[in-house]
Amino acid sequence: MASRFTLPHIEITRFKSQQDYSGVGGGGSSAVRIREEHGRRLQGELDAALKLAEELRPKDDRLPAPTTSIIEVELRRGTDPETLDRKKADIR
């Protein structure tokens, strides 16, 4: 079977270079994080999400009162979802 590629290949081996890798930091932002402020902001966002979930929950007198709310959390790629598991706070 004839090849559909008819042009010559481009030779790039003369452009290669090799050096030892040295990573810098953990790949995150270089900005200094103020952990207490950041934690308060995240807690506020969680509280607001739970309050909104409660307000938007459909009411139906024929059913028993709900006991939970479900909030979907989108994580950065590669983040372990187990970090959100807070059994003592009844968050799973």
For residue 30, the model assigns a pLDDT of: 61
Model confidence, pTM: 0.43
Number of H helices, E strands in the chain: 1, 0
For residue 9, the model assigns a pLDDT of: 77
**Calpha distance 90→84 (Å, rounded):** 11
Do 85 and 92 meet the contact criterion of CB atoms below 8 Å apart? yes
Say yes or no to pLDDT of 24 above 70: no
Do 57 and 69 meet the contact criterion of CB atoms below 8 Å apart? yes
- DSSP-assigned letter for residue 55: H
Q: Is 58 helix (H, G, I), strand (E, B) or coil?
A: coil
The pLDDT > 90 percentage for the chain reads 2
Say yes or no to pLDDT of 41 above 80: yes
Pairwise pLDDT comparison (26 vs 36), residue with the higher score? 36
